[in-house]
Structure 1
C-alpha cells in the first residue's frame, strides 16, 4: 500500500519540521506546494528532508484562496498512490492503527474514510523537534469544521470539489467505489500553539490578503488583529478548564 501527501505552505518554518517528522514516517511520497514563502521553510526542508519534493505556487505575492482551491482539487489527480492526503501544514491525520485501517480500506475499495476533527491547544509553541508534536500537545476540543475529508483514494475518487479551506467537499466517485462504511480517522489541527505564534501567523497572512479574498471573506479572520486571537484563546482555555 502506498500513501502520497501534498501540503500547502507559506512561511511555515516553525511548523514544517513537526509536520514532516510525522508524515515521513509512513508516507511514500511528499510534495510541499510552497506559496512564495519568505522565511526559511524551504531551506529547512532541503537540509533535513532531502527526499521531499518542493513545488512553487505563484500567486503574485498574495493570499489567493481561489487558487489554493484549484490546487487542492487537482494536484492529486495524477497520483498512483492507494491513498492521498491533501492538507495544510498544521493538519495531522492520526489513528492508533492508521496503516492497518488504510490497508483494509484499500482491500474493500473504500474511497474516503470518515474524519473526526479536533483543534489542538498549547499555551506555548512546542519547540522540541526530537519529539512528535502529537505526543507533546494533547489538549484538544472537538471541532466539526475540521471533519475535513483530506485523505482519500485517487483510485476511487474522480473529483473532490473542495470548497474554501477544504472544510466542505462534494466528491464524485468512480464506478465500483465503496462509499458506505464505518471506517474513521482523526484529524488534529495544530493552530492554537501559543498566542505569540498565532499573532505572527495572522499578521503575515493578513498582509497578503487579496482583493478577491476580501470580497468573498476568505480568511477574513486574519485581519481581525490580536484581539480576535486573544478572544479565541480565552474561550478555549475556559472550556478546557471546565473539563477538569
Structure 2
C-alpha cells in the first residue's frame, strides 16, 4: 500500500487487533464490537479494503470474518453487491427480547433466593457506576455497565444453563440496547435500583416482576425509536463513528 496524506497518523476508527490470538478470530471480534457499538452502522455497505485499513490487517482475514458474521446474522452478504451490516426486523427483535425477558426474570427470581451480601454490594456499585455514566452521557460506559449488572444477576442465579443461554444472547441484546440507552436514560437505572432492592430483600416474585417490566420497557423503547427514526429523512453515512470514552 502507498502512504497517503498524513502518513503515520491513525485513521478515525482504527483499532489494530492483538496478534497472539489467531488473526481471523481477532478480526471477527473487532468487527462484531464495531457493529454492536454503532461504529459500523446498520445497513452500512462494508468494503473489505476499508475494513482492512481500519484494523491494520490484510483483506483475507476480513473476508473470512465477514463470512462468519453472515452465518451468525450480523452481516448480510448480497451477490453482486457485497456485505452490509444486518438491519434487524421488528419480529426478530421481539423474539430475542422475549427470550431475554424469560431468561432474566427467572434469573432475578433465583438471584433473590441466593444473593449474598457481597453480591448485593457489587450490584449496588454497578448501579452507581451506570448512573454516573448515564448522567455524563457516556453511552459506551452505560451499555457496558448495564450488561455487567444483568450478567451478574444471571451468575447469581446459580443455574449454569441460564448462564449459558444468557451468554448466547448477550451481544445481540447489547446491539439492540445501544441505540435506546440515551432514550431509557435515568429511568433504566431507577428500575435497576428497585430490582436490586427487591433482590436484597429476598423477594423472589417481586424481583422477577421488576425484571420482566424492565425488559418490556426496553422493548417498547426500541420499537418507538425505530418508528421515530423511520419518519426522519436519511442522513449520509459517515466513514466511521468516533467512540465515546469507556474510561
| Structure 1 or 2: more strand by fraction | 1
Larger Rg: 2
| Structure 1 or 2: more helix by fraction | 2
What's the TM-score, normalizing by structure 1?
Answer: 0.27
Bigger RCO of structures 1 and 2 (CA < 8 A, at least 6 apart): 2
